[in-house]
A and B are shown apart, each in its own frame.
Chain A
């Protein structure tokens, strides 16, 4: 099992001139430490207009800074929104290649389509079309990276024959992933030979079923890229503390506040009936978790909060249901002081990571 960091870059009100800068600087310091501790990857999302919840519209810039500060940690560019009003596919291919060159071949690419009305309407994009445009984009990107020259006639975009430059540094190209929130999207990932980048928390039984189906399905896939990425990744919260009770209390506060900020946004499903968004997705799930049967307990099922032993048990359970990677949110809205976040990472690196097959020096 490999471990990573996952950044939404939430910035709490009240805002000052330095609020965002502090969040970014703290994140960079955490990434630098994570690299030293042997974490395998750092991911940064692409979000727009999501007040407080995520001030991260240009992940490739943040990740470039990460790459410059680190030696080995891989940089997860994503979720890149594969909707033409957000990103032209040529620009995605180019920006990925530049980041791959600058990082020395450490890029991973996560693809997605946005799940909020807040963002889609902000770019005047129709929720009805996002699944289709995502499909078109993910089938083009590997060919744009690997073909000497590329041309395309599609429903959402077209281009005459051109040489798209630069080319990615990794051969044949960086691993590709799909953001999975709605049940069923993992099957879209499997059919295309793409990794499942889960963005939901908890619920071992449900995840085990979905992972098993993903594994079964990907064996019969027609990969959109040059190779199959059959890995399953998930996100989790991490707050590791010698004092179990203190770790649980602080960690649960962080997780609850993350949910609280997320649920202030408008999901597509809330406002726009569309078969393109057939399930509840992430935000309603967070609402359930925040008020569900276990919400009164100190930590939800499978969350990596508390002492090292407890976190190790949770991760072993995730490993047993088939998860290959876990990416951690280590803070929300700067509610945990930076020194404590760094201490949590160090403790995790010292007491928990050695029990798994994470990267060793």
Chain B
């Protein structure tokens, strides 16, 4: 039997976002810019992963920085750290930490989709030889990354894995699946470079980056969708998944 996560829910429960309900309406977000880096990490992240999920072989994380130029709460940026895993047979990115650039976005992301979002400053800049992002919080830089020497690839070459968040809803702790659609207009792949990464600031002190995998940047129409599935974080997803709609 594959290995499972070993997260002690009690240890994280007090800080979990609280969803108002599972009737979240979708947000259409056109012309989003997404920067994604994948990195292998040292063994030891299973303590961060809910027991319902399997660690990927080998363990790895993704950094996802998204610029949403239009949304119901105005333009905002969102940076996430995801620990990549399996929900049964499906690859999923378990969101360990998230920073959003406006208070309205922080509130909406927590209440509607269960993102553990906190307020911070996010920069996303395109240079001639890189697409770079910096995330700052409390005056400190907690993430500095870049897609170096990006080269155009087909949009179909990119694969974005759905996210799962951990939140309180209806009096219980649940894993919430966030599964956007993407229509990619432009895509590029480059080398992954992380200059600074304050793991503790992303609720991920156990994450130690080891081997860069890939980096990509895209422009796409996407959404923050209605919630379709929730999962019991303590049970195998085969029996613990509930379809919301």
Contact = CB atoms under 8 A, between A and B. Distances in A.
B201 interface: no
B225 to A, nearest CB: 19
Contacts of B159: 269-270, 273
Contact of A272 (B2, B58, B84, B214): B214
Contacts of B157: 273-275, 278
Nearest to B89: A263
Most chain B beta carbons < 10 A, residue from A264, A278, A291:
A264
A266 B54 CA distance: 12
A329 to B, nearest CB: 17
B90 to A, nearest CB: 6
Nearest to A118: B57
A272 B233 CA distance: 28
Contact of B2 (A52, A259, A271): A52
Contact of B54 (A50, A264, A271): A264
A273 B158 contact: yes
A260 B214 contact: no
Interface in B152-181: 153-154, 156-159, 161
Nearest to B218: A273
A121 interface: yes
Given A117-B213, A269-B159, A260 B2 contact: yes
A265 interface: yes
Interface string B84-108: 1010111100000000000000000
B25 to A, nearest CB: 26
Contact of A266 (B58, B153, B154, B156): B58
A51 B55 CA distance: 12
A263 B156 contact: no
Contact of B1 (A13, A118, A273, A286): A13
A290 interface: yes
Most chain A beta carbons < 10 A, residue from B54, B86, B187:
B86
A291 B88 CA distance: 10
Given A12-B1, A121-B40, A271-B214, A264 B56 contact: yes
B3 A13 contact: yes
A288 to B, nearest CB: 9
A131 to B, nearest CB: 14
A291 B90 contact: yes
A93 B217 CA distance: 42
Contacts of B214: 271-273
A121 B38 CA distance: 13
Given A117-B213, A270-B159, A271-B38, A263 B86 contact: yes
Contacts of B84: 266
B89 A259 contact: yes
B115 interface: no
Contacts of A121: 40, 211, 213
Contacts, number: 72
A270 B214 CA distance: 10
Interface string B64-102: 000000000000000000001010111100000000000
Contacts of B216: 273
Most chain A beta carbons < 10 A, residue from B54, B58, B216:
B58
A305 to B, nearest CB: 19
Contacts of A265: 57
Contacts of B90: 263, 287, 291
A264 B57 contact: yes
Contacts of A12: 1
Given A52-B2, A273-B157, A266 B57 contact: yes
Given A272-B213, A290-B89, A118 B58 contact: yes
Most chain B beta carbons < 10 A, residue from A51, A272, A273:
A273
B152 to A, nearest CB: 11
A256 to B, nearest CB: 9
Contacts of A269: 159
Most chain A beta carbons < 10 A, residue from B3, B91, B189:
B91
B60 interface: yes
Interface string B201-230: 000000000010110100000000000000
A117 B159 CA distance: 14
A13 B213 CA distance: 27
Nearest to A265: B57
Contacts of A290: 88-89
Contacts of A50: 57
Contacts of B1: 12-13
A261 interface: yes
Contacts of A117: 213
Given A118-B57, A259-B89, A287-B89, A264 B40 contact: no
A273 B189 contact: yes
Most chain B beta carbons < 10 A, residue from A50, A51, A272:
A272
5 contacts: A264-B56, A266-B57, A269-B159, A271-B214, A273-B159
Interface of B: 1-3, 38, 40, 54, 56-58, 60, 84, 86, 88-91, 153-154, 156-159, 161, 187, 189, 211, 213-214, 216
Interface of A: 12-13, 49-52, 117-118, 121, 259-261, 263-266, 269-275, 278, 286-287, 290-291
Top 3 nearest A-B pairs (CB, nearest first) are A273-B157, A263-B89, A272-B214
